[in-house]
Amino acid sequence: MMLLVLLHKGKGGGLSDLFGGGFSSSFGGSSVVERNLDRLTIITGVVWFVCIIALGLLLRP
């Protein structure tokens, strides 16, 4: 989850510049790669949240 968040392009570039940030910046901010990364991050976050809630309910005394 942290890796997906760090791969997003921020104001300063962040880690996305290390992994081809210059390549994606030539296509603009709404490239297919950025949209897919957004979707993957949201899906991963929702699954992570559901797992935390489910574990909390299962491990109740």
Owning domain of residue 44: 33-60
Q: Within a 10 A sphere around the Cβ of 16, how many other Cβ atoms?
A: 21
- Residue 26: inside a domain, yes or no? no
Q: Is the pTM of this model over 0.75?
A: no
Q: Which residue has the higher pLDDT, 28 or 17?
A: 17
Look at the chain and report how many structural domains it folds into: 1
Tell me: the pLDDT tens digits for 25-60?
A: 554 556 888 889 889 999 999 999 999 999 999 998
Our measurement of the distance from residue 2's CA atom to the centroid of its chain's CA atoms, rounded to an integer in Å, reads 7
Q: Is residue 9, in this structure, part of any structural domain at all?
A: no
Q: Which residue has the higher pLDDT, 19 or 7?
A: 7
